[in-house]
Each structure stands twice: as structure tokens, then as C-alpha cells.
Amino acid sequence: MSFAEELKGRSLLTLADYSKAEIAYILELADKVKQKKKNGEMYEPLKGKTLGMIFEKSSTRTRVSFETGIYQLGGMGLFLSSNDIQLGRGEPISDTAKVLSGYLDGIMIRTFSQQDVEQLAENASIPVINGLTDDYHPCQVLADLQTIKEEKGKLEGLKLAYIGDGNNMAHSLMIGGAKMGLDVAIAAPKDYQPKTKITELAKSFADGTEVIVTEDAAEAVKNADVIYSDVWASMGQESEQIEREKAFANYQVNKDLLAYAKEDAIFMHCLPAHRGEEVTADIIDGPQSVVFQEAENRLHAQKALMIALMG
Ligand code: CP
Ligand code: NVA
């Protein structure tokens, strides 16, 4: 079976469900659609198709990249804020899934619980794409892998260090990185480390590479090719901001920490960023930062994903 046949109709809930070869196929397709866009070539393989986009949390990149992405592919996106659809008034996810399956060709959802996304996918007869939960952010990591490949010319054999909260980004980077042959080191304070179950899962995908979780940021960054950071308080954790600022004080990506990395290391961040907290302005706005290329690649990577799943 070809990858196109293999992926058609599938959902993306976490990269754990995708093989290395399937992820590589999507990344290659992402490069192709990016090139077509740069060449000004019309490419509309999803003509007439619709993507519903359910948002229970805020978004700039995910919303705009999915909505313009489906439009550029010939289809249409519908922004479905959970405040405006009956889901927000208690209509069951399973009913929502069945109803939307009758209208749409795909659903993207950003919400809190991963179980809700799983329930949506179980009850939908169309592909469901995870646009971020408290546990995972797989679409971001597809764009991240595309960006790393563009910058370094390869993925295998590189070391990625993630500094900060053991959150959705840490989880998805561990899984995506381990699958694609990168060493992944996560540095997080003791009480904010990634979930043990997800760390073990990521380790099970590592084939001759390492997945390390440590409290020592300098150790994680040592010899890294990619330094990654994310906010200290994620969406839904705003009330913990002050206590988190204290807990994460030694986990800021700054000049001193970056000195442990390789000289040609790149800095990445899923954005939105808080300058002066998880990263200093001189780093995120400096020559090693690729954050805006990374943000742009959300568009290209997700177009490839939609073609693969909904084409
Ligand atoms: N990185 C990311 O998902 O950004 P948004 O929250 O703006 O969608
Ligand atoms: N960890 C962040 C990522 C935002 C894209 C959050 O969940 O808010």
C-alpha cells in the first residue's frame, strides 16, 4: 500500500500513532506544497472539501494556518468556537462528532483533555486532527521537524534540548523526536516533569537514540543542535503564573545557557512567547532564532497533513 492510501481517512491524535516513514512522507509533502506556494502555483487537491475547526482555547497560528491552508488547497474552513456551538452548552461530544461527520470532510479540534479528542475521533466517520490538548501538540511538531530539516539538512543524529515545562510541547517533541532519530533531552523542575507514561512511550520509540529527562538545564543543552522553549504557564494555567515564575526561574533560555549548546545551534519556540521569562529577547530575536520560519511552516506542514488525511 502507498503512503497516500495508508494515511487517507486517518485521524491525527498524537504522533505516537504514526510510523517514522509516515511522518517522513508528510514532511516531504510539506516541502513540496511549500515550494508550490513560493512559486505561486495553484494547487487545489481539496477542492470542495470542508474542515470544521473547534476551538475551546485561544489561537493565532493554528487557526489562521488551518483556515488559510484549507482555502489554498481549494476547500473551506469553518471556525467553530465552542462558545458558539452547542458543545459549549453540554451537547455530547459523541453527538457532535456524528452530526459534523454528515457535513464536513475533516475536523480539527483544540481543547483541554486528550480523552475528548479521542472520543470525537471514535464517534466521527471523518479524520480528526488534534490542534492541541493539555497532553499533545502534534501539528506543531510536524512544522518543527520540517524547520529543523530545512536548517540542518537532516533529522537523524541531531540533539534537541527542550527547557521548561513538561507539557504538551515536551510530550510531542519527545515522541516526534524519538521517532525521527533525534536525541531528545528535557530539562524541567522536579514538580513539572513530563508525564512518566508519555516519557516511557517516547523511550519505546527511540531506536539507538536517547530520550532523557533531567532537572539540569545545562546538562540538557550540552552539545545540542536545537534548543526549544515554551511558556511556563500554558493555556488554562494562568492562575499559577506567579508560582510557576518562581519554579522555572533557573529554566530561562539565555546567553549563558545557550553557551552549552553547539555553536551553530538554532533556537525554536512554538509561540506565543514571553520575553524575559522562558527566553530572553536577545535570543528569540537574535541570529540563532528560527521562530518565524517555524511559525510559517505550520501552514505548509498542515496543508500536507490535510492532503494526506482528507485527500
Ligand atoms: N503554536 C501555536 O499553536 O500557536 P497558537 O496558540 O497561536 O495557535
Ligand atoms: N504549552 C502551550 C503551547 C501553546 C501553543 C499551551 O498549551 O498554552
Q: What is the C-alpha end-to-end distance of the chain, expressed in Å?
A: 16
> Where in the chain are the domains?
3-137+297-310, 140-294
Q: pLDDT tens digits, the chain, 311 residues: what are they?
A: 899 999 999 999 999 999 999 999 999 999 999 999 999 999 999 999 999 999 999 999 999 999 999 999 999 999 999 999 999 999 999 999 999 999 999 999 999 999 999 999 999 999 999 999 999 999 999 999 999 999 999 999 999 999 999 999 999 999 999 999 999 999 999 999 999 999 999 999 999 999 999 999 999 999 999 999 999 999 999 999 999 999 999 999 999 999 999 999 999 999 999 999 999 999 999 999 999 999 999 999 999 999 999 99
Best substitution site from 168, 192, 268, 278 to test ligand 2's pocket, by max atoms within 8 Å of Cβ?
A: 168
Quick one: CA torsion of 257, 247, 138, 131, rounded to 10 degrees? -130
Of 161, 142, 93, 137, the closest CA to residue 234 belongs to: 137
Q: Provide Rg for the chain, Cα atoms.
A: 19
Q: Are β-strands 50-55 and 266-269 bridged in parallel, bridged antiparallel, or unpaired?
A: unpaired
Of 96, 89, 84, the closest CA to residue 125 belongs to: 96
The angle subtended at Cα 174 by Cα 265 and Cα 138, nearest 5°, is 100
Best substitution site from 235, 244, 278, 291 to test ligand 2's pocket, by max atoms within 8 Å of Cβ?
A: 235
Instruction: Give the Cα separation of 203 and 40 in Å (integer).
Output: 42
What does CATH list as the number for 140-294?
Answer: 3.40.50.1370
Q: Helical H runs in 8-55?
A: 20-38
- The Cβ of residue 56 has, within 10 Å, a number of other Cβ atoms equal to 20
Query: Are residues 81 and 135 in contact, defined by beta-carbon separation less than 8 angstroms?
Result: no
Give me 255's grid cell: 546567553
Query: Are residues 223 and 198 in contact, defined by beta-carbon separation less than 8 angstroms?
Result: no
Active site residue 275: no
Instruction: Give the Cα separation of 233 and 268 in Å (integer).
Output: 18
Instruction: Give the Cα separation of 307 and 300 in Å (integer).
Output: 11
Active-site residue identified among 63, 137, 269, 300: 137
What does CATH list as the number for 3-137+297-310?
Answer: 3.40.50.1370
Same fold, 3-137+297-310 and 140-294: yes
